[in-house]
Amino acid sequence: MRETQCPSESWCDSFTMADQVPSIELGNGGNMPYIGLGTFKTKDCEMRESLRVALECGYRHVDTATFYQNEDAIGEVLQEWLASGKVTREEVFITTKLPRIGNRAGDVARFLQKSLEKLRVSYVDLYLFHHPVGAIGKDDDDLSPVDSEGNSINDPDTDLESVWKAIEEQVDAGRARNIGLSNFNIVQIERILKVCRIRPANLQVEVHAYHQQRDLRALCHKHGISVCAFGPLGAPYMADGAGERPVLLEHPKVVSIANRLARTPAQVLLRFLIQLGMAVIPKSSNPDRIRQNFQVFDFELSTEDMSSLEDLDCGKEGKIFTMEFSKSHPECPF
């Protein structure tokens, strides 16, 4: 994996929406644009409109998952754009993910094929092992299985290594160009590295200024694994996630930098992570915010600004996505 240089001022001066977004070169081939459209909790008409807006303003990286239940809507829009010639398949980087109920070696190929059919493509650019905690659903549509008391029906026999080997086979079959992990911790990543034939190309994990995951990022850097940050704005749609801390977008340091640079707080937070070498997938269904979030390559944060934002790190206490369903499972990563 090789990261492209973060945009310099001279590069920024010539950047336009039509230019190619700088990207991270993945070890298994292909390039992941530094910014993509996050689609968690976005469905149906809202999803279709958000993706159309994103593609119009230059996004070429789309992140989804079986669990999000929006692959059909994304596939409709992608088909429109591909059929019209507005983009080619090679210009769009598509990520999707194996659901927890598919965390068995024999289920991987079936779930990826279902995703490809919904997305209306023959391959994805990145297929992620979405979560190390497996679950037992009553059928392929029971994506969050719970018992009569509302407790997650987890699969205690989840075998990470055998699932990874089945994911590797999807590269051999041509259904995935790159494969990676999501929500895995250091110990679990090291376990995969010991048995892998194809090294994970990417780790998608919660990273934002409150939760900077420095040790995890250092491990990924050591092994040539790129990092993609989900929740890069601190998940403002989970308003109580920050606890007693201010919502990240409203933190005085973030707002002060944004005001001085005549930028939005979101642009500052995204630029911060990009300058740390990570891809980001901000989620929004607001057309103006989708456009603003993309406009992060025509300015740079100073060394002082970067240091100020790095000081916001709260370590484990800054985590917002607690994923309570996983707490009783032997592979709980948190």
Per residue in 47-87, pLDDT (tens digit) is: 999 999 999 999 999 999 999 999 999 999 999 999 999 99
- Domain assignment present for 328: no
What pLDDT sits at residue 58? Answer: 97
Question: How many whole angstroms separate alpha carbon 308 and alpha carbon 295?
Answer: 22
- Domain assignment present for 45: yes
- Domain assignment present for 6: yes
Return the amino acid letter for 238.
M
- Residue 97 per-residue DSSP state: E
- H helices of the chain, in order, are 9-13, 44-57, 71-84, 108-119, 160-172, 186-195, 214-222, 252-261, 265-275, 287-294, 303-310
Name residue 128's beta-bridge partners.
97, 180
Domain count, the chain: 1
Per-residue CA distances from 310 to 91, 201, 313 (Å):
33, 26, 6
Nearest residue to 64 via CA among 238, 233, 204, 237: 204
Tokens 């740079």 locate to 300
**123 in active site:** no
> What is the DSSP secondary-structure string of 268-313?
HHHHHHHHTT-EE--B---HHHHHHHH--SS----HHHHHHHHTT-
What pLDDT sits at residue 19? Answer: 52
Query: Which listed residue (34, 59, 68, 210) is catalytic?
Result: 68
> What is the DSSP secondary-structure string of 194-222?
HH-SS---EEEEE-BTTB--HHHHHHHHH
Rounded to the nearest angstrom, the gap between the alpha carbon of residue 121 and the centroid of all alpha carbons in its chain is 19
Nearest residue to 79 via CA among 70, 69, 89: 89
- Domain assignment present for 333: no
Tokens 């779930």 locate to 111
- Domain assignment present for 334: no
- Domain assignment present for 295: yes
Per residue in 185-229, pLDDT (tens digit) is: 999 999 999 999 999 999 999 999 999 999 999 999 999 999 999
What pLDDT sits at residue 330? Answer: 85
Q: Are 227 and 279 in contact (CB under 8 A)?
A: yes
Nearest residue to 8 via CA among 300, 292, 305, 304: 300
Query: Residues of the chain whose pLDDT is less than 70?
Result: 1-20, 239-243
* Residue 159 Ramachandran class (φ > 0 left, ψ -120 to 50 alpha, else beta): beta
Nearest residue to 179 via CA among 200, 193, 196, 204: 200
Question: How many whole angstroms separate alpha carbon 179 and alpha carbon 312?
Answer: 32
User: Which residues contact residue 192 at a Cβ distance below 8 angstroms, ignoring those fewer than 6 apart?
Assistant: 160, 161, 164, 181, 184, 200
Task: List the domain range (segments joined by +) for residue 61.
Answer: 2-320
What pLDDT sits at residue 225? Answer: 97
Q: Are 166 and 112 in contact (CB under 8 A)?
A: no
- Domain assignment present for 74: yes
- Domain assignment present for 330: no
Q: What is the CATH number of the domain that holds 255?
A: 3.20.20.100
Question: How many whole angstroms separate alpha carbon 253 and alpha carbon 310?
Answer: 11
